[in-house]
Amino acid sequence: MRILVTGGAGYIGSHTARALLENGHKVWVLDNLSRGHKEAVQRTVGLDQLTIASLHDTDRLVQILTLQEIELVIHLAAFSLVGESQKQPEMYFRNNVGGSQSLISAMHQANVKKLIVSSTTAVYGTPSQMPITESFERAPVNQYGQTKLEMELSLEHAANQNDLAVVALRYFNAAGAHPNGDLGEDHDPETHLIPITLQVALGQREHLTIFGNDYATPDGTCVRDYVHVCDLAAAHICAMDVLRNGTVQYFNIGTGAGTSVSEVLDACRKVSGHPIPSVDGIRRSGDPDILYADNSKAVSELKWSPKYTSIEQIVETAWRWHSDSPNGYRSG
């Protein structure tokens, strides 16, 4: 199949592009490179397959979709920092909602009917019970989650009006790196727990700050569902088989198990062989005690299941990437 990946120079996008290639698909990447990396594209589809453009340039999108005879779009281009979204909500709505609407318009004009998109657990807000199923109320508590909810609503309208076939994958906590060691996380600023912890192991930070140790969890630290980025990429492949015109289907993509901050820290210490000092900090506003997925719908309907089922397996791939490329893609 001929596929366009928006945000294909990013963390999840580059892993997804590689998975598509490995499954025999023809892949193009569209990215404005504001947060993605040209080197990640070079290591996956190649720079000849990269278009540097904005999602807001609807005419350019129509041109690309038509010229390359695109059959399916995988839309992964979005800003995703919760703290930043609270400070700059207009930027997040313009990019995450406005960009998605521009893409939907371009697809309609180019008569492209198949779309797989990245959504997020943030649309659920802070549910009162676990695990989280797709039927839970959408009640985001931050601007990032709100933009993803608005995107989902736009998709529902487009599916109804334009007979679009959509699958929206609600990611839990993406983690890890490609086992080859040549693709991984490289964010600026870095906000994810595992990379930050491994940066301490590499001497790039003095210590890990644990934000709160008095949560209602077995060890007092927050619990999250960490899903390997290659397992996320595989979910997009599986989603291609269930697209149905006129519908938006939602799937939670997580392991179905929670891991605490302290357990992540212990895994990083074991894998890296470094002591990794930590200090206790105050709770961050809005951090729920526990979040983890009920992934049974993805398992039964997508025929998807995570291959990386332990936090140590995930950390091992991340450690290879960070130790081999301590400065990310700038490491060469």
- Residue 144 is a catalytic residue: yes
Q: What is the DSSP letter of 186?
A: -
Q: Which amino acid is at 116?
A: I
Q: % helix / strand / coil in the chain, to the nearest 5?
A: 40, 20, 40
The CA dihedral of 72, 305, 78, 43, to the nearest 10 degrees, is -70
Tokens of 231: 């397992």
How far is 304 from 251, CA to CA, in rounded Å? 11
Q: Which of 144, 215, 226, 308 is catalytic?
A: 144
Nearest CA to 206 among 315, 264, 279?
279
Parallel/antiparallel/unpaired status of strands 72-75 and 278-281: unpaired
Q: Is 206 helix (H, G, I), strand (E, B) or coil?
A: coil
CA distance 74 to 52: 16
Q: List residues with catalytic annotation.
A: 144
